[in-house]
Amino acid sequence: MAQIDWDSLGFDAYRTRTVVLAHYRDGAWSDIELTETFSFTIDPFMQGLHYAISCFEGLKAFRQKDGGIAIFRPDKNAARMARSARFLGLPEPSEEMFIKMCELCVKNNLEFLPPYGHQASMYLRPLLFAPHPQMQLVPYPEVILAVMCAPAGSYYGAHLRSAAAVIPGDFDRAAPKGTGSYKLSANYAGTFVPYKIAHEQGYAELLYLNSATREFVDEFGSSNFFGIKEGNKYVTPLSDSVLPSITNLTLQEVAADFGMTVEKRPIPLDELAEFSEAGGCGTAVVITPMSHIDIKPVLREPLVTRSFRYEPDGAVGPVCTKLYKQITGIQFGELEDTHGWCHKI
Ligand SMILES: *Cc1c(COP(=O)(O)O)cnc(C)c1O
């Protein structure tokens, strides 16, 4: 195997060694299997493909300072996948099985786990999908849970560098009482084209508003929104159509540990002008501080009707820096894990 350059990892699909699989059919889970073939045989009529009966998770394993290995808060991902599965009418993997499969994925791909000291980690991607061939629109009690992994640097290539975001006036992400709060594969389909247009215009992120009234901030395409106000307030949206991010939850707890006030409530669009820092948060990125957020009535067109300015391009504010250092310090075992977030394997 070619030597991996741990310092130049991005965030991408990767052909590692082993995929961990379990199959639920006839009312029971199979034994957990390890496969190195790196391909699935699927029925062309499978529901997962035709109707997006599929959900996933994302979490990370770290080689820590003391040489040990820890997965960050896998119990939270297990619970969230169970919730997504219930929404889709699929059998739920138990927390115990979910965590065991994640552990096996790390242990059987150890050569892809970045060593301590490169700010890199192993991204774990559990995928739960319906393999059953069926045209009817009814849930069928059969699923495959596959856990795969990839060595990961940070999503944007470098570490904690600010990026620009755009609020598209002509695209929505999730309907009220729809699928937005579940980690469904389907939620991503509608973001590909707007992301492509945004990237062509130099925006790294899309910030979606609540689709019912377009008066409040919901979240970025694949990460939650937070803003910092008056130096010591962490504000993040309360909305039925936002995905409950585990990184956001962790940041709220870290902010509270720092004595900051945490506000989880609807954020009116105008309030974007009142934050000193604003960022996106998610497992892949941890934090992406925003340099500015533009509003465009039509994403494809050049007209910007309003622009909220935070950090100069590339710069990062003090609160984002402090929160980021705390969370990554705990993940790499450099700071005391007082909340018991690191699941050692
Ligand atoms: C996964 C995801 C996030 C981030 O959740 P984390 O648990 O922090 O990784 C945010 N928004 C969307 C839409 C997501 O799918």
Structure confidence by residue, pLDDT tens digits, 119-175? 999 999 999 999 999 999 999 999 999 999 999 986 544 468 889 999 999 999 999
Scored b (16 or more CB within 10 A) or e, 308-317 reads bebbeeeebb
Q: Which atom of ligand 1 is nearest to the CA of 248?
A: 8
Query: Does 205 lie in the same domain as 271?
Result: yes
Question: What distance in Å separates the CA atoms of residue 172 and residue 199, rounded to the nearest whole number?
Answer: 17
Model-level pTM? 0.96
Query: Does 167 lie in the same domain as 110?
Result: no
Query: Does 180 lie in the same domain as 321?
Result: yes
Question: What distance in Å separates the CA atoms of residue 257 and residue 138, rounded to the nearest whole number?
Answer: 46
Total domain count for the chain? 2
Query: Does 207 lie in the same domain as 120?
Result: no
In a domain, residue 21? The reply is yes
Give the residue from 163, 173, 218 showing the smallest Cα distance to 194.
173
In a domain, residue 26? The reply is yes
- Each residue's pLDDT tens digit, 215-261: 999 999 999 999 999 989 999 999 999 999 999 999 999 999 999 99
In a domain, residue 122? The reply is yes
More confident residue, 312 or 72: 72
107 contact partners, CB below 8 Å, separation of at least 6? 345
Question: What distance in Å separates the CA atoms of residue 345 and residue 342, rounded to the nearest whole number?
Answer: 9
Residues in the chain: 345
Query: Does 318 lie in the same domain as 228?
Result: yes
CATH number for the domain that contains residue 129: 3.30.470.10
Is residue 84 lining ligand 1, measured as CB closer than 6 Å? Answer: no
Query: Does 83 lie in the same domain as 209?
Result: no
Query: Does 206 lie in the same domain as 319?
Result: yes
Q: Give how far the C-alpha of residue 232 lies from the chain's centroid of Cα atoms, to the nearest Å.
A: 25
pLDDT band at residue 79 using 50, 70 and 90 as cut-offs: very high
- Each residue's pLDDT tens digit, 259-278: 999 999 999 999 999 999 99
Query: How many A from CA of 57 to the centre of ligand 1?
Result: 8
End position of a domain, from candidates 152, 182, 198: 152
- Mean of the pLDDT values across residues 182-211? 97
- Each residue's pLDDT tens digit, 306-325: 999 998 777 899 999 999 99
Query: Does 195 lie in the same domain as 114?
Result: no
In a domain, residue 339? The reply is no
- Structural domain harbouring 256: 163-331
- Mean of the pLDDT values across residues 6-34? 94
Query: Does 46 lie in the same domain as 93?
Result: yes
Choice from 172, 182, 208, 224 to test ligand 1 binding pocket (greatest atom count within 8 A of CB): 224
Q: Which atom of ligand 1 is nearest to the CA of 173?
A: 13
- Predicted confidence at residue 285, as pLDDT, reads 83
CB 226 within 8 A of CB 262: no
Query: Does 91 lie in the same domain as 63?
Result: yes
The dihedral of CA 92, 94, 99, 102: what is its sign?
Answer: negative
